[in-house]
Structure 1
Amino acid sequence: MNGRLPLAALLLLAAGSPALGDDAPDPERGKTLFRACAFCHTLTPDGGNRAGPTLWRLFGRPAGAVEGYHYSPALKGSGIVWDEVAVARLFEIGPDVMTPGSKMPMQTITSAADRRDLVAYLREATAP
Structure 2
Amino acid sequence: MRRIPVFFYLLGWCGLVAAQSDLISDRLTQAEATTGQLIFNQCAVCHTASPDQTHRIGPNLWDIVGRPIAHAEGFDYS
TM range (shorter): 0.5 to 0.7
Residue of structure 2 in register with 1:41 after alignment? 47
Q: TM-score, normalised by structure 2?
A: 0.61
Q: How many aligned residue pairs are there? A: 61
Residue of structure 1 in register with 2:12 after alignment? 7
Residue of structure 1 in register with 2:27 after alignment? 24
Unaligned runs of 5+ in 2: 1-10
For residue 24 of structure 1, report the CA deviation from its aligned partner: 3.0
In structure 2, C-alpha distance between the alignment counterparts of 1:11 and 1:57, rounded to whole Å: 19
Greater RCO (CA < 8 Å, at least 6 residues apart): 1
In structure 1, C-alpha distance between the alignment counterparts of 2:17 and 2:44, rounded to whole Å: 35
Q: Which moved more, 1:25-34 or 1:42-51?
A: 25-34
Q: TM-score, normalised by structure 1?
A: 0.40
Work out which of the two has the higher radius of gyration on C-alpha atoms and give 1 or 2.
Answer: 2
> Pairwise CA RMSD of aligned residues?
2.6
Q: Secondary structure at the match of 2:39?
A: helix
Amino acid at match of 2:27: A
In structure 1, C-alpha distance between the alignment counterparts of 2:39 and 2:52, rounded to whole Å: 22
Identity of aligned residues (%): 39
